[in-house]
Structure 1
Amino acid sequence: MLSVVVGPWRGAPVVLRNAEVLHDAASTMKMAVLAAVYRSGLDLEAAVPVVNRFTSAVGGSYGNAREWDSDPEPWQLLDAGPASSPASSPNMAEAPASAPLRWLAERMITHSSNLATNLCLAQVGRPAVAEAWRQANATRSSSPRGIEDFPARDAGVHNRVTALDLVRLLESLEPELLALLERNTWRVDLAAGLPPGTRIGFKNGWCPGVRHCAAVVHPEDSAPYALAVCYTGPLASGHDEIDPAAGLLARISARVWDRRHELAR
Structure 2
Amino acid sequence: MLSVVVAPWGSGEPVFVRAPDELHYAASTMKVAVLAALHRSGVDLDTEVPVVNRFASAVGGEFGNSRDGDGDPLPWELLGGTAPLRTLAERMITHSSNLATNLCLAAVGHEAVAEVWRRAGATRSASPRGIEDHAARDAGVDNLVSARDLVRLLRSLDGDMLALLERNAFRVDLAAGLPPGTRIAFKNGWVAGARHSVGLVHPGDCPPYLIAVCYSGLLASGEDVADPAARLVARISAAVWQRRHGIAPR
- Whether TM exceeds 0.5 here: the answer is yes
Aligned to 1:187: 171
Q: Distance in 1 between matches of 2:84 and 2:227?
A: 33
- Tell me which amino acid in the other structure corresponds to 2:120: A
Deviations 1:84-119 (A, max 9, x none): xxxxxxxxxxxxx00001110111001100000000
TM-score by length of 1: 0.93
SS in 1 for 2:186: strand
Cα RMSD of the aligned pairs, angstroms, is: 0.7
Q: Structure 1 segments of 4 or more deviating over 3 A?
A: none
Counterpart position of 2:220? 236
Give 2:248's aligned residue: 264
Amino acid aligned to 2:14: P
Aligned to 1:2: 2
Q: Report the 3-state secondary structure (helix = DSSP H, G, I; strand = E; otherwise coil) of the residue aligned with 2:246.
A: helix
Q: Kindly state the Cα deviation for residue 188 of structure 1 after the two structures are TM-superposed.
A: 1.1
Shift of 1:262: 1.1
1:212 aligns with 2:213: no
**What is the SS of the residue equivalent to 1:156?**
coil
In 2, Cα distance between equivalents of 1:141 and 1:225: 21
Q: Secondary structure at the match of 1:131?
A: helix
Cα distance in 2 for residues equivalent to 1:264 and 1:188: 26
Determine whether 1:251 maps to 2:235. Answer: yes
Q: 2:25 is aligned with what amino acid?
A: D
CA distance in 2, matches of 1:173, 1:35: 7
Measure, in 1, the Cα distance between the counterparts of 2:231 and 2:126: 27
- The corresponding residue for 1:116 is 100
Total equivalences in the alignment: 248
Per-residue deviation at 1:48?
0.7
Q: Name the SS for the 1:211 alignment partner.
A: strand
Match of 1:69 in 2: 70
- After TM superposition, the score normalised by the length of structure 2 is 0.98
Q: What is the percent sequence identity of the aligned residues?
A: 70
Structure 2 Cα separation of the partners of residues 175 and 118 of structure 1: 24
Shift of residue 264 of structure 1? Answer: 2.3
Aligned counterpart, 1:227: 211
